[in-house]
Amino acid sequence: MRVLFTMNPAPGHLFSMVPLAWAHHLRGDQVLVAVPQPLHQQVRRAGLTAAVVGGDASFFELWPAGLDLGGNEELDLDVFVALAERTRDDVDALVRAWRPDVVVTEPVEYSGPLAATRAGIPWVLQHWGLPVPPEVHRAALAKVHSRLSILYGGITVDPPALTIDTCPPSLGSVPGGTPMRYVPYNAACTIPNWLLEAPSRPRVCVSMGTVPIPEGVDGLTAAVHGLHGLDVEIVVSGAGVHNLTGLPDDVRRIGWIPHNQVLPGCALFVHHGGSGSSMAALTIGRPQLLMPQMCDQFAIAERLTAAGAARSVPFPERCASAVRIEASKLLSDDGYHVRAAELAAEIAAMPAPSTVADLISHTV
């Protein structure tokens, strides 16, 4: 079977889909990943084959003028529609030439479903973790409806043959979704020896995601200085952390190391509330302190806080003292650890990507 994956040019969008892509590969299926040029190296590093669509289209090139990334709670899908406008012709041509048996895509990638519908091929929607709340998604789609109508040329896109839901059931499943265990993937690395040793103090990991916006640097700096007043070992992860200035000398900077390798030795994870980071912590069963800064991160923070597995710092209030207060509550209250462990057990009980790959092959 030939399986085409389509996604937007962001590492976090790719990472959530790598396990299912590999599950198809290990079944003996032919797997191809269609992405704009900025993501093709990440696809290759994941051991997958890339096809470049949309040239060098990127989020920052196509982000609507005047729309501020940081602190924006409104989920604005204009940029994803603009990406689809750039990729649709290439994806359509790729589908006609390669003739996949199924197209697998993510929630805000629109050219894949369109090309599949035109070619009469079934498509599968995979959510990347905690789904965007339906009411938020509907409102955002209504806002860009006129552009989507032009983009689709009057064609009504077929509904997905399957909708894959990687959210643990107690956090709210997608109606009619097919459950699949979330398996963290964050690219390959070489872990340092000290990471294999038990820390002498509670270890706290701080990370602000893969989108390099100033608010992420500000949030990370505030988090580190807030934690520095506590009796904890601070580990800062992510691309570019070695170039950050103004951090205390005793903070460990580990660069790009998968969270599922770092978090087992941690008592707490402080991050921006991205879906991938949140789901990685959920699979390991670690409490989270969320500092949302854009898009669906605010909804994720609300959901995890309501579930009793996290606390959050509102964007207008992010500062070192707020982080210190919230982190202290998380570290001292075992209830957050218990709830996080319960959610990890829910995820572990969900079907593996290999099971879902088999289901897809039988469905299409």
> DSSP letters along 256-319, please?
S--HHHHGGG-SEEEE---HHHHHHHHHHT--EEE---BTTHHHHHHHHHHTTSEEE--GGG-S
Q: Which residues are bridge partners to 264 per DSSP?
A: none
Distances (CA, A) of 155 to 98, 114, 158, 211, 306: 22, 8, 9, 33, 40
What values do phi and psi take at 36, rounded to 5?
-65, 160
Full domain range(s) for residue 268? 193-348
Give, for 338, the enclosing helix (H) or strand (E): helix 334-348
Phi first, then psi, for residue 346 (nearest 5°) are -60, -45
Whether 215 and 342 map to the same domain: the answer is yes
Residue, of 238 and 311, whose pLDDT is higher:
311
164-187 average pLDDT score: 91
Q: Residues of the chain with pLDDT > 70: what percent?
A: 88
Q: Is the same domain home to 205 and 338?
A: yes
Q: Are residues 75 and 145 in the same domain?
A: yes
Looking up residue 127, the CATH number of its domain turns out to be 3.40.50.2000
pLDDT confidence of residue 217: 72
Q: Are residues 10 and 98 in the same domain?
A: yes
CA–CA gap between residue 255 and residue 243 (Å, rounded):
10
Q: Is the pLDDT of residue 360 over 90?
A: yes
pLDDT of res. 200: 92
Answer yes or no: is pLDDT of 67 > 70: no
Tens of pLDDT, residues 186-202: 888 888 898 888 899 99
pLDDT for residue 153 is more than 80: no
Looking at the structure, tell me whether residues 143 and 226 fall in a common domain: no
Position 131 scores a pLDDT of 74
Same domain, 74 and 222: no
CA distances 349 to 24, 79, 180, Å, are 21, 36, 9
Residue 254 scores a pLDDT above 60: yes
Residue ranges of E strands in the chain: 2-6, 30-35, 50-52, 102-105, 123-126, 162-165, 178-179, 203-207, 233-237, 252-255, 268-271, 288-290, 310-312
Domain count, the chain: 2
**Would you tell me how many other CB atoms lie within 10 Å of the CB of residue 3?**
25
Residue 190: predicted pLDDT = 86
Residues 153 and 197 in one domain: no
Give the whole-number percent of the chain exceeding pLDDT 90. Answer: 62
- Amino acid (one-letter) located at 72: N
Report whether pLDDT(78) > 70: yes
Average pLDDT (38-48) is 94
Q: Does residue 143 sit in the same domain as residue 60?
A: yes
- The per-residue pLDDT for range 288-317, each reduced to its tens digit, is 999 998 878 888 999 999 999 999 999 889
Q: Given pLDDT bands bounded at 50, 70 and 90, which one contains residue 37?
A: very high
Same domain (yes/no): 95, 234? no
Window from 141-145, 175-179, 228-232, 280-284 with minimum mean pLDDT: 141-145
Q: Is 334 exposed, middle or buried (0-12, 13-18, 19+ CB in 10 A)?
A: exposed
207 with 88, same domain? no
pLDDT grade, residue 111 (50/70/90)? very high
Verify that 268 and 197 share a domain, yes or no. Answer: yes
Query: In Å, what is the CA distance from 296 to each residue of 8, 23, 31, 122?
Result: 16, 28, 29, 28
Cα 223–Cα 224–Cα 227 angle in degrees, nearest 5? 85
Q: How confident is the model at residue 332 (pLDDT cuts 50, 70, 90)?
A: very high
78 DSSP assignment: H
User: In Å, how far are 2, 118, 127, 175 from 178, measured between CA atoms?
Assistant: 21, 25, 10, 9
Do 206 and 277 sit in the same domain of this protein? Answer: yes
In b/e form, how buried is each residue of 144-176, taking b as 16+ CB within 10 angstroms? beeebeebbeeeebeebbbbbbbbbeebbebee
Residue 60 structure tokens:
């920052």
Amino acid, single-letter form, for residue 252: R
Strand ranges of the sheet holding 162-165, from the earlier edge strand across to the other edge:
50-52, 30-35, 2-6, 102-105, 123-126, 162-165, 178-179
